[in-house]
Amino acid sequence: MKPKTSSAVDEASFSAVKAGIAEFVAGQGERYADQIERDGRVPEELRADLYERGYFGLCAPKEYGGQAIPFDRYLELMELFSMSHGSIRMIVHVANGVWRAIDRFATAEQRRRFVVPAVTGDLRVAFALTEPTAGTGADLRSTVTRVGDDYLLTGEKHLITFGVACDYWLLFARMAGSEGKEGTIALMVDRHTPGVTVTEMPPTMGVRGTDHAHLVFDNAPVPVANRLGEEGRGLEVAFGGFLTPSRISVAMSCVGLARRAHELAVDHALGRETFGRKLAERQAVRFMIAENATDLEATRQLVLHAARHWQSGGPDAEALSSMAKLHAVDALTRVTDRSLQIHGGIGYWASSPIERVYRDARAQRFEEGTNEIQKTVIARAELGRRK
């Protein structure tokens, strides 16, 4: 019986963790951000720092070495991390989510080999679902054929976050000759498996420093012992174990990034003077600030509603996670655009903090599925309810 996180939290301990994260984001986090933007790489000392601070196992059970912070309260911390550089947020987001997908179907031995080291930060796991020649989900083209105690894996993956510098890929494929979700399979694939070609993809517009991999598998052998769950249940591992809560976490990431943009805009409006008046005294600017604040609070509450629904095992969790992600991305787009407008021309220069925020925000439009994917999930749930 796997341990579960408690729905309660010690408020004094939680407040201390929250205060520590806020201090890190405002201080050392910004110094790391400058270094990442300058070098185009996430420094190893950043990962070591996050590890030492215990930020890789915030919501995992204490039995696994985590802090057992309930998911909805963990999102309060994710909002803070998301006010920092996109790559810092990405490291924390992946580390605090991928263990859950493995754990859901793991055997006791797999929990010892994969889950606990992922929680403690001793094992880096990348989520490998997206393919260059297929859509996300049951359209998987990567295939496996069982030969004795191994699966031989053939296919391609791309846009795999941290797929270059990881230890394992949590990878999804299908049994050769199968169709639909019933043929899918989830595997833990060693980064150094023979028959695998790893190519680092070109730099991105935003979230600089996070590596993304293009992977090619040519009859790469993967032990059957590394399969999570039964054959045919791969998408259950992907969606229920990772994507549903991950979409909620990404939605809260949008809140944090929007909050950072909003605060920068407010500070600029209070300090910038034109024609003898502060920008904050001008009605057009005040209206944009009001709209930003409203977008922020409405989105935050929808995200927390989705989180609590998922946490309690509610039947609408998948649809609500997509609603939260869809709404959050659109709100982030509006807030960052207004915030940049309040800055005027100077906000477009790389010397202005809002410029990095604006670039990082665009990545949220496709992380964990595009808006169009979210609408498909929501519409399916709504139409299914009517039927």
Closest to 118 measured CA to CA, from 252, 241, 256: 241
The answer to whether 187 and 222 have CB atoms below 8 angstroms apart is: yes
State how far the Cα of 136 lies from the Cα of 353, in Å rounded to an integer. Answer: 34
Using CA atoms, how far residue 106 sits from 82, 91, 101, 115, 372, in Å, is: 30, 23, 9, 8, 32
The answer to whether 283 and 373 have CB atoms below 8 angstroms apart is: no
3-class DSSP assignment, residue 105: helix
Centroid of chain to Cα 259: 17
List the alpha helices (DSSP H) in 189-316: 234-235, 244-271, 283-311
Query: Which is the catalytic residue, given 231, 368, 372, 382?
Result: 368
Other beta carbons within 10 Å of 17: 21
- CA atoms lying within 13 Å on the CB side of residue 271: 7
Catalytic residue list contains 273? no
State how far the Cα of 295 lies from the Cα of 354, in Å rounded to an integer. Answer: 18
Task: Give the amino acid at 140.
Answer: L
State how far the Cα of 226 lies from the Cα of 220, in Å rounded to an integer. Answer: 13
- 184-194 core/surface letters (b: 16 or more CB in 10 A; e: else): bbbbbbbbebe
Closest to 88 measured CA to CA, from 145, 139, 49: 49
State how far the Cα of 250 lies from the Cα of 62, in Å rounded to an integer. Answer: 24
State how far the Cα of 342 lies from the Cα of 263, in Å rounded to an integer. Answer: 11
Q: Are strands 150-161 and 184-190 parallel, antiparallel or unpaired?
A: unpaired
Closest to 298 measured CA to CA, from 324, 277, 262, 275: 324
Provide φ and ψ at 138, rounded to 5°. -70, -5
As annotated, the active-site residues are 368
